[in-house]
Amino acid sequence: MRDLIREKVAQAAGILRQTGIDCWLTFVRESALARDPSLAYLLEGDVTWHTAVIIAADGSSVVVAGEYDRRSIEDLGVYTTVEGYVQGFREPLVRHLRRLDPRTIGVNYSTGSEICDGLTHGMYLLLSALLDEAALGGRLVSAERVISALRQRKSAEELVRIRGAVDAAEEIFRRAHRFIAPGATESSVARFMHDETVKQGLEFAWDPRSCPSVFTGPDTAGAHYAPTERAVRRGHVLNIDFGVRKDLYCSDLQRTMYVLEENESAPPPDVAHGFETIVRSIDAARRAMRPGVTGNSVDAAARGLIVSAGYAEFPHALGHQVGRFAHDGTALLGPAWEKYAAKPFEQLEEGMVFTIEPRLTVPGRGIVTIEEMVVVRPEGAEYLSEPQTTLWLIR
């Protein structure tokens, strides 16, 4: 953990120089109650009293924290200066900011990106008033560009951890495939995967009530819903959405299966065509991905292929970033819809990790979907998961 924090703090200084922001200030209190999404990249645990983490473009760094929080932050061995206080944070914070005399101070607010919006309104008002009183007012700017880049540009170590989470989830998927049989319920499949996750000492990538999400047959909730007592039936499609957290990093994958009728040895044409369309759309998206392109153009490559094949367009973005959380990062592979704000127009960068997860409905059968994970490389996108190119069959 400490090596990761050291790596990300050094990376932040470089990003500040690139963006022209003089310093980045993360300002928190009682972080177990109101946790800033950026804090996990800066400290090992939570803090109690008002705490300011300041990283400057020149590479120096300062933490002002309550005295009882000071020692654990010093033990990280990451920050240039760690100063504790007893009665109040104002004097040491102002003193360090005056020494830096930054023209711009990036703080953690954003209207368009939830990962960059960790500064509460009350803390923003408190900080603004403090700076005004110290003749440092008018210098606060959004740190969105800094935070986005920090989370999105995965280091070699981060990619190793993500690959580990992907491998672990894929193994549980393989075991689940062998477990599932006609008559099993969505809930029983989920319990099996829960048990396997716990046995391996892993965490769930999102709320365990819907991780995994299991959907069999037509007329299901389709996504973001807990498994039910609906039984797996022959002639139906079954899909599972599942991921794990391992060594602090997540995976997020989906796999689709078909339950053979007793007289079938292969999926029927409608299911096979739907599955092949999804596989082709994922590959089209992956081939469209490279540094500098925008997420909406990647989304269009997959979405257009599915619509041209005669299916309705899927009602969500093609893919999201993955990191410390299953949904992470600002840039998005998505259409220009209001709910996605400017995210689909962000340019892809090397080191970003995305899901690609189109879907379509086969009437009377269910939803066909696959979710793969890829990393953006200079020459394109590389699979982190082992792509599902063959429909998994249940006999």
Q: What is the pLDDT of residue 142?
A: 98
Cross-strand pairs, 347: 294
Global pTM reads 0.94
CA distance 125 to 132: 11
| Domain 153-394 -> CATH class | alpha beta
CA distance 171 to 193: 10
Measured over the CA atoms of residue 300, residue 302, residue 303 and residue 309, the dihedral's sign is positive
Q: What is the pLDDT of residue 220?
A: 87
Residues of the chain where predicted confidence (pLDDT) is lower than 50: none
Strand order of the β-sheet with 61-66 is: 81-85, 61-66, 51-56, 23-28, 105-107, 140-142
Q: Which tokens hold the place of 143?
A: 């740190």
Strand 249-250 with 244-246, pairing: antiparallel
Which long-range CB contacts under 8 A does 5-10 form with residues at least 24 apart? 5/41, 5/42, 5/43, 5/44, 5/76, 5/78, 6/76, 6/77, 6/78, 7/155, 7/157, 8/41, 8/42, 8/150, 8/155, 9/41, 9/42, 9/55, 9/61, 9/78, 9/79, 10/59
Nearest to 138 by CA among 114, 168, 107, 169: 107
First-to-last alpha carbon distance for the chain, in angstroms, is 45
Nearest to 109 by CA among 208, 201, 26, 51: 26
Hey, which CATH number is domain 2-151, 3.90.1150.10, 3.40.50.720, 3.30.70.260, 3.40.350.10? 3.40.350.10
CA distance 186 to 183: 10
Q: What is the pLDDT of residue 323?
A: 97
Q: What is the pLDDT of residue 265?
A: 95
CA distance 194 to 192: 5
Q: What is the pLDDT of residue 222?
A: 80
Q: What is the pLDDT of residue 86?
A: 97
CA distance 253 to 387: 10
Q: Which tokens hold the place of 28?
A: 């928190």
DSSP state of 231: B
CA distance 190 to 212: 6
Cross-strand pairs, 106: 24, 141
User: Domain-by-domain residue ranges, the chain?
Assistant: 2-151, 153-394
CA distance 137 to 280: 54
Chain centroid to CA 118: how far? 16
SS3 198: helix
DSSP state of 313: P
pLDDT, tens digit (0-9, with 9 covering 90-100), for 74-114: 999 999 999 999 999 999 999 999 999 999 999 999 999 99
Q: What is the pLDDT of residue 383?
A: 98
CA distance 151 to 307: 33
CA distance 65 to 9: 17
